[in-house]
């Protein structure tokens, strides 16, 4: 072989080696980015562990709560749980520290706070550390109100005498009376109410000031309509691992219980729930701004794909038949979700013959919020009477 031929072969080998290294580097960068977000400095290796999540209603917040409960157990953290036999932190009344089990006795703060409450910042700050990360989640008010109507149909006076949400929206003031019952909060601007504000008040200045205050108090507002994107942003912001935000949908309904709104009534929701609509519009914009700044759209697409791939893997490992079941099909009573109104809330059956470690992990991922809260309560306060669980 001539010297020229040897030189050509050598150059080809070098080029192939360089291409291999570049491809390998790209692959490793993708995988490493799932474990360690792109932050600089030593702080990037320490996940955020002091977290207050304002759990809004009918916004996929039960799934977020499950993620936080699992993180609590993984990191051996403390969680601010409802006192005694309560299941909410005083909701619908403004939050007070007396609603938290052990607050006085422990004489200290908790790591995680994520049960339903009506936000009252001065009281919440007494329960949580100074460096707490505050976040919440919103949903398009059209979908949120539809879900609330079905879920609270028999509970909310404004909904009880109507056959459908379409009928209600045709003349809402015929059914809605803001002074009749506190239960009517679910019928109008419920997300606004959850943040601690008056859900019946109007005025551009009032709305502008309230949204400005929410933006100041909460470092992050997620959007449930883009739930996977929200989980990617949350993971990167909190410096968590991929598996910390992998989820199965919880407290979701069967398709048959979903009501279809007319185009006209979809627009009426935006007027009837104008406060929620302004809230959603504002934080939907800031959500995408933060995604671009923290993650970037190209990396976002990769991480969403990897999140969904991991979800499929765990679904295949954990879930019998790979899909949720209705209440009559769920075999384990401990995994049956609470049923409300006309909603057919779905749950899961786990595969049989899982090893103990896998079984425990799968159980945590599908455990409904009431059972999970009762489980954590017994762990955190073993000498207290356990929570009495009712599923209807």
Residue in this structure with the two tokens 């489980």, named with its chain if needed: 375
pLDDT in tens, 223-250: 999 999 999 999 999 999 999 999 999 9
pLDDT at 11: 59
Residue in this structure with the two tokens 């799968």, named with its chain if needed: 362
Residue range 164-179: average pLDDT?
94
Confidence at 296, pLDDT banded by 50, 70, 90? very high
Q: Cα dihedral angle (270, 275, 278, 282), rounded to 10 degrees?
A: -140
Residue 4, pLDDT > 80, answer: no
Please state, for a pLDDT cut of 70, what percent of the chain lies above it: 87
Confidence (pTM): 0.88
The residue that leads in pLDDT, 256 or 221, is 221
The residue that leads in pLDDT, 26 or 78, is 78
Cβ density class 279-288: b for 16+ within 10 Å, e for less: bbebbbeebe
* 6/3 Cα distance (integer angstroms): 5
Confidence at 267, pLDDT banded by 50, 70, 90? very high
* 90/82 Cα distance (integer angstroms): 8
Q: Are the CB atoms for 118 and 93 separated by under 8 Å?
A: yes
pLDDT at 29: 42
Residue 107, pLDDT > 80, answer: no
Cβ density class 343-371: b for 16+ within 10 Å, e for less: bbbbbbbbeeeeeeeeeeebbebbbbbbb
Residue 1, pLDDT > 90, answer: no
* 375/70 Cα distance (integer angstroms): 12
pLDDT in tens, 323-349: 899 888 999 888 988 887 677 888 999
Residue in this structure with the two tokens 């977290």, named with its chain if needed: 51
Nearest to 346 by CA among 314, 313, 321: 321
Residue range 377-383: average pLDDT?
96
Show the tokens assigned to 267. 């627009």
Residue range 49-54: average pLDDT?
98
Residue 33: CA count within 13 A, CB half-sphere: 21
Residue range 282-287: average pLDDT?
98
> Do you know the residue count of the chain?
392
pLDDT at 281: 98
**SS3 track for the chain:** CCHHHHHHHHHHHHHHHHHHHHHHHHHHHHHHHHHCCCCCCHHHHCCCCCEEEECCCCCCHHHHHHHHHHHHHHHCCCECCECCCCCCCCCCCECCHHHECCHHHHCCCCCEECCCCECCHHHHHHHCCCCCEEEEEECCHHHHHHHHHHHCCCCCHHHHCCCCHHHHHHCHHHCCCCCCCHHHHHHCCHHHHHCCCCCCCCCHHHHHHHHHHHHHHCCEEEEHHHHHHHHHHHHHHHCCCHHHHCCCCCCCECHHHCCCCCHHHHHHHHHHCHHHHHHHHHHHHHHHHHHHHHCCHHHHHHHHHHHHHHHHHHHHHHEHHHCCECCCCCCCHHHCCCCCCCCCECECCECCCCCHHHHHHHHHHHCCHHHHHHHHHHHHCCCCCCCCCCCC
Give CA angle at 335 (329, 340), nearest 5°: 75
Q: Are the CB atoms for 332 and 354 separated by under 8 Å?
A: no
pLDDT in tens, 183-201: 999 999 999 999 999 999 9
**Across-strand partners of 250?**
none
Residue range 62-75: average pLDDT?
97
Confidence at 10, pLDDT banded by 50, 70, 90? low
Please state, for a pLDDT cut of 90, what percent of the chain lies above it: 76
The residue that leads in pLDDT, 13 or 301, is 301
* 336/391 Cα distance (integer angstroms): 8
* 118/212 Cα distance (integer angstroms): 18
């Amino acid at each position: 072989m001539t010297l020229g031929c040897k030189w050509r072969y050598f150059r080809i080998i070098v080029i192939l080696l360089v291409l291999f290294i570049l491809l390998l580097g790209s692959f490793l960068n993708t995988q490493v980015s799932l474990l360690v977000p792109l932050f600089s400095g030593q702080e990037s290796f320490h996940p955020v562990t002091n977290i207050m999540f304002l759990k809004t209603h009918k916004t996929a917040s039960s799934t977020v709560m499950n993620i936080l409960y699992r993180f609590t157990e993984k990191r051996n953290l403390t969680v601010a749980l409802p006192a005694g036999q309560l299941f909410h932190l005083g909701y619908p009344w403004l939050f007070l520290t007396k609603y938290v089990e052990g607050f006085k006795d422990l004489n200290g703060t908790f790591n995680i706070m994520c049960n339903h409450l009506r936000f009252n910042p001065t009281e919440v700050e007494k329960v949580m550390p100074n460096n707490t990360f505050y976040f919440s989640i919103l949903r398009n008010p059209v979908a949120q109100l539809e879900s609330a109507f079905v879920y609270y149909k028999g509970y909310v006076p404004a909904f009880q005498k109507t056959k459908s949400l379409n009928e209600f929206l045709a003349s809402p003031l015929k059914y809605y009376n803001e002074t009749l019952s506190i239960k009517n909060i679910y019928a109008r601007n419920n997300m606004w109410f959850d943040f601690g504000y008056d859900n019946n008040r109007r005025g551009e200045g009032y709305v502008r000031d309230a949204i400005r205050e929410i933006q100041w108090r909460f470092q992050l507002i997620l959007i449930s309509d883009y739930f996977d994107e929200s989980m990617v942003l949350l993971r990167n912001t909190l410096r968590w691992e991929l598996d910390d935000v992998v989820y199965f949908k919880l407290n979701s309904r069967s398709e048959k219980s979903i009501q279809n709104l007319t185009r006209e009534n979809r627009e009426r929701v935006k007027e009837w729930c104008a406060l929620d609509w302004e809230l959603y519009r504002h934080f939907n914009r800031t959500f995408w701004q933060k995604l671009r700044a923290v993650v970037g759209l190209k990396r976002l697409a990769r991480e969403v794909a990897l999140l969904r791939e991991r979800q499929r893997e765990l679904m295949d490992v954990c879930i019998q038949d790979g899909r949720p079941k209705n209440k009559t099909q769920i075999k384990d009573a401990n995994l049956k979700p609470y049923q409300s109104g006309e909603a057919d809330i779905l749950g899961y059956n786990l595969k049989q013959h899982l090893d103990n470690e896998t079984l425990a992990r799968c159980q945590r991922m599908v455990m409904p919020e009431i059972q999970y809260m009762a489980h954590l309560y017994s762990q955190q306060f073993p000498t207290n009477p356990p929570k009495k669980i009712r599923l209807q």
